[in-house]
């Protein structure tokens, strides 16, 4: 993918025709537990390969560790990352660690994809159904938790979702002929949806009441405990988004909430929804149908 | 005398939390100082959500939000 059409990862065609997919991501802790943090960061980094329809196989650690952090804590971060990578069939070999005040961790990941399995932000076509494979709310919950405003129980609602690989979601998408997909991360559901709609030159109609939102996120959204990234998403992407007046302000903001290792957003041909549903059931992969792709001015309209 | 909340240099959600605390104290108007556009938006929206009138002033690179009942 060239810089003119930004996507989730870089794709490089090798001399034998194989497409190599490469990406890198790292971030500061989103949870207190070092092992869980490492695992979430790894799942998040690997997700960009899945988002392109690829199969990851090799990764390098990228880390910043404070000089006063106990070595056993740092080791737990790396162990969490390595075991999550292993679950994804990815070997972590080496990498680089630097010294910094705030810890950071993630992976540079390489995978391959067959040309006919490539998933692109530009792949959505009018008439297709929009599906989302994880509920929203990780941004507001982790931010509120760090500020002492959310309970451990609230955090526990979101951790399993942040730990979950997007591998099975992509397997289910690949059971269909769908070509339009991306993963939901920092730009939030609406930010990434805008990217897909603009890249494909289509309009998305999203039904706000069908978009899954973690229960624990709702009271925190009422208190407006959103991260700065969520506010930035709203300020930038709102030029392409319209809302039905009945959609509450805090729900609008949850749709913009910056996510950590969020789910896949994909456009599935309507005639293949049954096949997609069967594939998800076989893989024990939840999904929600949240809207459809329509013709019209590129952007998003959010209805009730 | 306006109650002043200086939330400059703080990252979200701290400016919103400090503003909420001042709102609960109930002394209006409240002036909130922030130094990023994201904090300005989050504080403005949180205050509007609480049913308050919000006026935003740009002061150099910073913002002053005046909250009234």
Q: Is the pLDDT of residue A31 over 70?
A: yes
Convert the pLDDT of each residue in A285-303 to its tens digit.
Answer: 999 999 999 999 999 999 9
Per the structure, the complete domain to which residue B61 belongs is given by 3-68
B41 to chain A: nearest residue by CA? A231
Query: What is the distance between the alpha carbons of residues B54 and B57, in angstroms, rounded to a whole number?
Result: 10
Q: Is the pLDDT of residue A4 over 70?
A: no
Convert the pLDDT of each residue in A125-178 to its tens digit.
Answer: 999 999 999 999 999 999 999 999 999 999 999 999 999 999 999 999 999 999
| pLDDT attached to residue A5 | 67
Determine, for residues B46 and A223 on separate chains, whether the beta-carbon distance falls below 8 Å.
Answer: yes
Q: Is the pLDDT of residue B20 over 70?
A: yes
**Domain A119-303 in CATH 1.10.3720.10:** no
Determine, for residues A228 and B49 on separate chains, whether the beta-carbon distance falls below 8 Å.
Answer: no
Site of tokens 């920092």: A186
Domains identified in chain B, total number:
1
Nearest to A167 by CA among A55, A80, A16: A55
**What does the domain layout of chain A look like in residue ranges?**
10-116, 119-303
Per DSSP, the residues of chain B read --EEEE-TTPPTTHHHHHHHHHHHHT-SSEEEEESSHHHHHHHHHHHHHTT-EEEEEEETTEEEEEEE-
- ipTM (interface predicted TM): 0.88
| pLDDT attached to residue A223 | 93
Q: Does this chain's domain A10-116 share its CATH topology with A119-303?
A: no
In this complex, is the C-beta atom of A234 within 8 Å of any C-beta atom belonging to chain B? Answer: yes
Determine, for residues B17 and A147 on separate chains, whether the beta-carbon distance falls below 8 Å.
Answer: yes
**Reported pTM:** 0.94
Nearest to A199 by CA among A254, A90, A120: A120
CATH of the domain at B18: 3.30.110.40
Identify any residues that bridge with A113 across adjacent strands, giving them in sequence order: A19
- Cβ count within 10 A of residue A155: 22
Name the pLDDT band for A7 (thresholds 50, 70, 90): confident
**Least CB–CB distance from B17: residue in A149, A229, A250:** A149
Determine, for residues A249 and B49 on separate chains, whether the beta-carbon distance falls below 8 Å.
Answer: yes
Mention the CATH class of domain A10-116.
alpha beta
């Amino acid at each position: 993918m060239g810089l003119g059409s930004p996507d989730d990862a870089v794709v490089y065609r090798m001399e034998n025709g194989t497409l190599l997919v490469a990406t890198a991501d790292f971030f500061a802790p989103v949870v207190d537990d070092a092992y869980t943090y490492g695992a979430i960061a790894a799942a998040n980094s690997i997700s960009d390969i899945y988002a392109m329809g690829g199969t990851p196989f090799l990764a390098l650690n990228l880390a910043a560790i404070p000089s006063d952090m106990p070595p056993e804590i740092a080791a737990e971060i790396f162990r969490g990352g390595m075991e999550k990578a292993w679950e994804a069939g990815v070997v972590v070999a080496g990498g680089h660690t630097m010294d910094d005040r705030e810890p950071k961790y993630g992976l540079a990941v390489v995978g391959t994809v067959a040309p006919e399995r490539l998933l692109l932000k530009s792949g959505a076509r009018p008439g297709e159904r929009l599906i989302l494979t994880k509920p929203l709310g990780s941004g507001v919950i982790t931010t509120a938790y760090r500020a002492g405003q959310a309970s451990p129980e609230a955090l526990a609602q979101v951790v399993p979702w942040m730990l979950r690989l997007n591998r099975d979601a992509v397997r289910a998408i690949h059971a269909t002929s769908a070509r339009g997909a991306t993963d939901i991360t920092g730009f939030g559901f609406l930010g990434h949806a805008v990217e897909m709609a603009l890249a494909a030159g289509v309009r998305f109609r999203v039904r706000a009441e069908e978009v899954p939102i973690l229960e624990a996120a709702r009271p925190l959204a009422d208190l407006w405990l959103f991260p700065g990234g969520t506010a930035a998403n709203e300020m930038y992407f709102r030029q392409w988004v319209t809302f039905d007046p009945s959609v509450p302000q805090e729900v609008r903001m949850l749709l913009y909430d910056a996510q950590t290792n969020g789910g896949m957003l994909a456009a599935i041909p309507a005639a293949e929804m049954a096949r997609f549903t069967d594939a998800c059931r076989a893989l024990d992969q939840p999904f929600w149908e949240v809207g459809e792709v329509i013709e019209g001015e590129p952007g998003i309209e959010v209805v009730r | 005398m306006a109650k002043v909340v200086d939330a400059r240099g703080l990252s979200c959600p701290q400016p919103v939390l400090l503003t909420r605390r001042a709102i609960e104290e109930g002394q209006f108007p409240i002036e909130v100082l922030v130094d990023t556009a994201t904090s300005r938006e989050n504080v403005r929206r949180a205050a509007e959500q609480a049913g308050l009138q919000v006026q935003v002033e740009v002061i150099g690179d910073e913002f002053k939000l005046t909250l009234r009942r």
